[in-house]
């Protein structure tokens, strides 16, 4: 038994229902593409951030060594 929210679908023709399903399918496909792009961007920026943090740590160690040698 469909809820009241979806009863209007019972009044649609099969062609209209198919059309709605196809539109929703395209929307889902577009969302999946955007989700994939977003995940790829997230991963790329995560790798950039990781690289920069490693470089900062490496340079910090070198600065510490230089300070030891100066004093």
47 lies in some domain: yes
Query: For residue 43, what are its two tokens?
Result: 């991963």
Q: Distance between CA 6 and CA 2 in Å, rounded? A: 6
Give pLDDT, residue 5.
Answer: 79
Query: For residue 52, what are its two tokens?
Result: 């920069």
Q: Distance between CA 41 and CA 47 in Å, rounded? A: 10
**Number of domains composing the chain:** 1
Give pLDDT, residue 10.
Answer: 84
pLDDT tens digits for 13-68?
999 999 999 999 999 999 999 999 999 999 999 999 999 999 999 999 999 999 88
Give pLDDT, residue 56.
Answer: 96
Give pLDDT, residue 28.
Answer: 98
Q: Distance between CA 56 and CA 50 in Å, rounded? A: 10
| Boundaries of domain holding 47 | 42-71
49 lies in some domain: yes
pTM: 0.64
37 lies in some domain: no
């Amino acid at each position: 038994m469909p809820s009241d929210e979806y009863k209007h679908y019972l009044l649609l023709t099969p062609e209209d229902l198919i059309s709605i399903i196809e539109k929703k399918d395209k929307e889902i496909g577009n969302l999946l593409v955007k989700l994939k792009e977003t995940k790829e961007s997230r991963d790329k920026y995560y790798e950039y951030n990781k690289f920069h943090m490693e470089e900062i740590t490496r340079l910090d160690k070198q600065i510490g060594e230089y300070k030891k040698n100066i004093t």
